[in-house]
Every structure is written in C-alpha cells, then in structure tokens.
Amino acid sequence: MRKLTKMLLLAGAVSAPGLMVSSAAKAEEAAAASPIAANVTLASEYVYRGISQTREKLALQGGFDYAHASGLYAGVWGSNISWLEDLGAGASSSMEMDIYGGYKGKVSDDFSYDVGYLRYEYPGSYPAGFVSPNTDELYVAGTYKMFTLKYSHSISNLFGYADSKGSSYLDASASFDLGSGFSLGLHAGHQKIKNWSDYSYTDYKISLTKDFGGGLSVTGAYIDTNADDNLYTVKGTRIADSRFVLSVTKAF
C-alpha cells in the first residue's frame, strides 16, 4: 500500500490541460487577444502527463489569465480530481489549483521563449505522515515556428513522492494548422522521478482540435504511456494506459 500510495501521488498535477495542456500555455494563448482572459472546459476525463487524474470520470475545469504587453503573465487554473481520495489512505481533496506566472519573449518572428514558475496546490485534509502532494516547478521553453521544447524542474517533492526534489519533465510538441479551423497536435514527454526510477515513464499524445469561432473549440486526443501498469493501477483501473479524451472548451 505504501508503494501504491507513492505512485498515485504522481497523478496530481496542470497543463495543461480531460486533455491538459500546461497551465502556463493558457497564459500564452491569452496574451494574443486581451490582457485578461478566462476559459472553461468540460472533458471526458482529466489526463496530465499521460496519467488520469479523475480515474476515467468527467472533469470540469477553468481558469483566468492576465498577460501584460511587456511579456509578463500570471494566472490560475483549477479542476476536479479523484486520485488523492482514491488512495484510500485518509486523504480528503477533490480539487487541484494551479497558480503560475512567468515571462514570454521573442528573439525573432520565428523564435520565442517562456520562463516561469508553477505551483500545484491540493486543498484538503491529510492524515499524519502523509507526504504533501503540493508541488513547485520551474520551467523554461523555446518555440521555433510550430515546434516547442520545454523543461520543467521540481524545486519541491514531486506530487508527494518522498525525497523526489529535483525531478524533471522534458517534453517536445508541435502544432500544425490544417485549415478550416482544424489543427493537429503532437506531443511526447518523459517524466523522471528522482529516487523513484521504476515510476518514471514516457507519454505520447496526438490530438485534433476544431475551432468553431467565438472562443468555442472541441478537441479529441489519443494518449498513451509506457508506464508499468502494475504500478499505475488504482481500484482495478489502469490510469496510465492508452485512452481517448474528448474535451469542449469555451474561451472568453
């Protein structure tokens, strides 16, 4: 049970975004239109870095972003979760709140960069001895045309894994405009958990988004990982295996 508890704490977490894109990415998108923006999403489930956060149940998500003309941005994003209570270890938390801020700049029309800080907060009550799932990460990303490479580094324990400070997540993604409001997204990332190598894994995602205008979009995504199913199974549900996630988002 102790080993399972440690594994499940990785399931906390964003971006980002049923289909979670990094929360920081939401601030980047908001900068183009207005200094203040909001978004709400209904997803078939909340998946982050390839791991289901809601054990294949619906997720309601939303956030607010502020993006200054200087390149500075900040925001907050939230979602329902179930993984902490699924532990059966006496933890009581059904919400994730992400608080983030950073700076985005451009070197040229083709190359931009993003640096920032992201706090994953899980308000609730926890029994004595329960390792806090709250996590702090620093990140840096570079984007060339449609390609992005991002590195995230934990400056605290990662999602409740003891002695995991210094864990990292490296991911590469690409977005292609297919025309007629359709866009194709490709993603691959590797989660390294310091001192917990058996729980480290690589995740993959391919997504198709249709923009209907007026801030309304629908995304379908196929997600998979190479995580060990023996370690990533909760109440008979494999939370890291292949899945299709459908989400509807309205931006304001």
Q: List alpha helices for 58-199, DSSP H.
A: 83-86
Structural domain containing residue 207: 2-251
CATH code for position 150: 2.40.160.40
Question: Which pLDDT score, from 0 to 100, does residue 2 have?
Answer: 34
In this prediction, the residues of the chain whose per-residue pLDDT falls under 50 are 1-27, 30-31
Which two structure tokens, joined as six digits, stand for 54? Answer: 């809601």
Question: Which pLDDT score, from 0 to 100, does residue 188 have?
Answer: 98
- Residues 141-165 pLDDT 10s: 999 999 999 999 999 999 999 999 9
Question: Which pLDDT score, from 0 to 100, does residue 169 have?
Answer: 98
Q: What is residue 131's DSSP assignment?
A: P
DSSP strand pairing (201-213 vs 182-192): antiparallel
Return the closest-CA partner of residue 20 out of 59, 56, 55, 72. Answer: 59
Which two structure tokens, joined as six digits, stand for 104? Answer: 């985005």
Q: What is residue 250's DSSP assignment?
A: E
Which two structure tokens, joined as six digits, stand for 77? Answer: 């994003």
Question: Which pLDDT score, from 0 to 100, does residue 119 have?
Answer: 98
CB 136 within 8 A of CB 119: yes
Instruction: Look up residue 87 and give its amino acid.
Output: L
Return the closest-CA partner of residue 10 out of 55, 43, 48, 62. Answer: 48
CB 172 within 8 A of CB 188: yes
CB 199 within 8 A of CB 7: yes
Calculate the alpha carbon distances from 80 to 17, 179, 238 in Å.
Answer: 12, 33, 19
pTM score: 0.87
Q: What is residue 125's DSSP assignment?
A: B
Which two structure tokens, joined as six digits, stand for 71? Answer: 């390149």
The domain tally of the chain equals 1
Calculate the alpha carbon distances from 156 to 66, 121, 134, 136 in Å.
Answer: 26, 12, 8, 6
Q: What is residue 55's DSSP assignment?
A: T
- The tokens 């609730």 sit on which residue? 124
